[in-house]
Amino acid sequence: MSKLNRKALAVLAAGAAMVCASLVAPTTGQAADKSAKHYTFAMITHGQLGDTFWDIIRKGANEAARKDNVKLIYLAAPEASKQADLVTNVLQQHVDGIALTLAFPDAMRPVLKKAQDAGVPIVGFNAGSDDWKKLGLEMYVGQDEVIAGKAVGERLNKEGAKNVVCVDQQQGAVQLEERCDGIKQTFKGKYQILYVNGYDMASAQSRIQAKLQQDPSVDYVVTLGAPFAPTAVTAAQMSNSKAKVGTFDMSPRAVNLIKQGKIAFAVDQQPYVEGYEAIDLLWLNKTNGDVVGGGEPVLTGPAFVTKDNIDAVAEYAKRGTR
């Protein structure tokens, strides 16, 4: 075979590989590294479909998948057993790595065992900052929810709050409970928790209103999800309550209200970074054997967003990546 022919063949092969790559993963754009194996990673969350927060995580994950040239399977189920089923499902698809939220750590134990036996690397993220090590994971990306909660509790002390209500939109989810626990640990005043229906705003508003009417001395409402913060502001107006509102996480609307001074603060855990890093760490682990974090979580928060620093963040929040 002449040298020219061989060259032509190589070019042809490379071209075919690129076509294949683009067929397999239309989202990945151009192949970054043609020599590397084309991995498939799964991201499995307990997020509710259609929730803004989880969409930001997914955007981060997509971006990492694009840059790392891997195929990403994103799946979500807000119930423990269904989320565990999804892990089994992707294991049967022989994925090369799994990024998993540990909102229901105990339910994940059996499927994690299966994954570990199969040698599939797993990165924990977003939820489960207390449990990832116990479950034998090597890496975890996220905000330590208890630390974030404690930071909020201290902030409330500094602002002179006496009676705070913590609004939880998904009863039984560990990371939300941890936030509340963190607040409870550091906050010096009276602390109460209120569960609302995360799927129905009118119902959430009525319940917050009812709470504020039941206990008029409440002077701070902390929502655990950003979509519920504007609702809490409305509920406070409707019930003629003086309570201030602070929230975990952000949304474009919450950002607007922070600008207007109607929401006092948002605790940003940078979900985009969580999604991005979870996939990127899997990639580093597969391609270079890296374990990042040195046995500690890779922290993405907490950072307080208030009226003073909102302008720097607003642009990205509007774009839907913060």
Q: Which residues bind another protein (CB under 8 A)?
A: 48-52, 54-55, 171, 192-195, 197, 199-203, 205-207, 209-211, 213-215, 227, 230-231, 234, 237-240, 251-253, 256, 320
Q: Which is nearer to another protein, 121 or 198 (CB)?
A: 198
CB of 230 to another protein, least distance (A): 7
Q: How many residues are listed for the chain in this entry? A: 322
Q: Which is nearer to another protein, 266 or 298 (CB)?
A: 266
Q: Which is nearer to another protein, 89 or 206 (CB)?
A: 206
| DSSP assignments along 204-264, one per residue | HHHHHHHHHHH-TT--EEEESSTTHHHHHHHHHHHTT---EEEEES--HHHHHHHHTTSS-
The packing angle between helices 105-117 and 80-92, to 10°, is 10
CB of 257 to another protein, least distance (A): 10
CB 225 within 8 A of CB 169: yes
CB 107 within 8 A of CB 80: yes
226 vs 184: CA distance, rounded Å: 20
105 vs 111: CA distance, rounded Å: 11
Q: Which is nearer to another protein, 27 or 237 (CB)?
A: 237
For residue 240, how many other CB atoms are within 10 A of its CB? 9
CB of 76 to another protein, least distance (A): 10
Q: Which is nearer to another protein, 123 or 193 (CB)?
A: 193
CB of 201 to another protein, least distance (A): 5
Closest CA to 257 of 207, 303, 307, 212: 307
CB of 229 to another protein, least distance (A): 12
Q: Which is nearer to another protein, 196 or 279 (CB)?
A: 196
How far apart are the two ends of the chain, measured CA to CA in Å? 56
CB of 304 to another protein, least distance (A): 23
